Amino acid sequence: MSQSTLKKGPYREITWEALVLGFFVGILLNASITYAGLLIGFTIVGSEIAAIIGWGVLRGIFRRSTIVENNINQTVASAINNSGAGIIFTIPVLYLRGADFQFLHVILATMCGATLGVAFIVPVRKQMIDIDRLRFPSGTAVGAILRSPGAGVRKAILLAAGVGFSALVSICVHTGLIPETVDIGALLGIPAYFRNVWAVSLLSLGAGFISGRAGLAVLIGGILAYWIITPLAVNFGWVPAGLSAAGAVDYAYVHMNRPIGIGMLIGGALMGIILAFPSIKEAFASLRRSGMKSAARRPEELSIKYLYVAAVASILVLCAVGFTAARPLGLTRIILIALTGTVWLWLAGIIVAQCTGMTDWSPISGMALIAVTIILFFAYDIDHRSAVLLAVLIGATICVAMSLGADMMQDLKTGTLVGAIPRRQQGVQLMVSWMGPVITVVVVHIIWQAYGFGPGTNIPAPQAQALDAAISGVVGGNVPADKYLTGALIGAVLSASPISGLGVMVGLSMYLPLLYILPFGLGGVLNFASGRIRGNRWVENNGIPVAAGLIVGDAIVGVVFALITVLKGLG
């Protein structure tokens, strides 16, 4: 235990040092992760880095930092950093399609998305963190770092061992000493359409361990998609003849597993909302009570008024985006799109927050695809260029809102573990969240001007290419509505089972790549087995610190290599 000497004065929480440090770390992470995301196709969460830098700078240099002050530092850094995922999946599509758009409109739309995402998620905190007590693996890992000065030598050693081992493995993977994936199916001589490829990802293993039971449900979904549906589809001739084994797996993913999985996610989440109505009601009641607390009790949350203001603002912003991008639609249809977009923003925000809380994975790309499909459905009779511009701008607003909402829930989970006051964290996040999109959009624009991205360039922007292809499918009338609908029905029934959120977890894993699902599921199995053998207290005191370390080590190395990639790009 590193017991500090007695300190006088108010407990340091929101300080200039924490805000400024979080701001600069956030900018650095945002630019690096945006560039790396356009290059490799996925983004990395940088909260762990921010927390560690926070200890180094706030405690090492200023010598008076507190646990909750460092929590504010990492909250600011991740708020500025995390809008990247929502933007790099959507906005590059406009560049790839040569769309005629105003740069300022993109910045304004995504800035509003960031603020709306934070405001919309305010009432969800009570339900998901306080009542459902979801694990939020990354939030738990950051909590372990922040609590490390008082967690005792044993836990600190376990955390450090996890960080060290994971970082070492991750360095070996990044430098090619260890392969990124292991094809166990090929080693066992199993047909290639029966995919059994594992990513060497200790981050996934750690997240699966912290998720616990959710890890098992995710594994079930992966098995259903990749070991049952895909082989049956190949053997029954449901995939076009002449495709290679890998091509058949990809076909089954795009035309079967992904749309059914997205449908399951939505159906499962809707059923979850219906079943969780009492806890949602309690969350709203609690927000109202919180507003009426006497002066003796610190108000816990931001007022529910923020949600109402956000809903009105959302409708106005989406209307403005509609008028900017597709004036021929007319007032009635633009208002209808704005209303639908607002409802979807709230619903998708809940789905993404729930998925992140249960598994650490956020299905933003799937939710963006649905958003774009809905908007294109409303704009079916105007010219395609305007319709796509409208759909991508509104899709980007919704995606940024979802990214920020999910990030805020992770930060609030960390805050719960260290005893931060939610209202302060929410206030800080509202204050700074608009900055992230400005940085990401500018970085995307600079990269486009300097190098270009997309097919035939050194920066493939794979997520944007995937959305672009999906938009082409929707514009061409190729929407797998039957798969979405049947998936939604299955997800809804699964979520009505006594296993909370089953439909959401199975749907999520049907739509994610198997190579990450397998180590994640293994983490869930290890948690379950060690809980049975050694008991839940052992899991909490020994397993969780190691698992948190695995997440942190992998994330640190990921960000360092992203920075190296940026420096190489500049050189």
Binding-site ranges for other proteins (CB under 8 A): 1-8, 10-11, 66-68, 126, 129-131, 133, 147, 149-150, 152, 224, 228-229, 232-233, 236, 238, 252, 255-257, 260, 278-279, 281-283, 285-286, 297-298, 300, 416-421, 482-483, 486-487, 489-490, 493-494, 496-498, 506, 536-537, 540-541
Please, which residue, 298 or 305, has the CB nearer to other proteins?
298
Please, which residue, 8 or 568, has the CB nearer to other proteins?
8
Please, which residue, 177 or 228, has the CB nearer to other proteins?
228
- 3-class DSSP state for residue 45? coil
Place of tokens 């590193």: 2
Please, which residue, 122 or 394, has the CB nearer to other proteins?
122
Distance CA 233, CA 221 (A): 16
Pairing of strands 197-199, 181-183: antiparallel
Please, which residue, 3 or 332, has the CB nearer to other proteins?
3
Contact between 34 and 88 (Cβ < 8 Å): yes
Distance CA 212, CA 121 (A): 24
Distance between start and end Cα atoms, the chain: 45
Contact between 26 and 77 (Cβ < 8 Å): yes
**Minimal distance in Å, beta carbon 540 to other proteins?**
6
334-344 core/surface letters (b: 16 or more CB in 10 A; e: else): beebbebbbeb
**Minimal distance in Å, beta carbon 523 to other proteins?**
20
**Minimal distance in Å, beta carbon 123 to other proteins?**
12
Distance CA 430, CA 269 (A): 26
**Minimal distance in Å, beta carbon 236 to other proteins?**
7
Please, which residue, 260 or 408, has the CB nearer to other proteins?
260
Please, which residue, 18 or 129, has the CB nearer to other proteins?
129
Distance CA 95, CA 148 (A): 45
Place of tokens 């933003």: 364
Please, which residue, 97 or 125, has the CB nearer to other proteins?
125
Paired residues of 181 in beta bridges? 199
**Minimal distance in Å, beta carbon 484 to other proteins?**
10
- 3-class DSSP state for residue 564? helix
Which two tokens mark 392? 């991508």
Distance CA 310, CA 313 (A): 5
**Minimal distance in Å, beta carbon 226 to other proteins?**
12
**Minimal distance in Å, beta carbon 29 to other proteins?**
25
Please, which residue, 389 or 517, has the CB nearer to other proteins?
517
Distance CA 307, CA 293 (A): 19
Contact between 140 and 424 (Cβ < 8 Å): no
- 3-class DSSP state for residue 183? strand
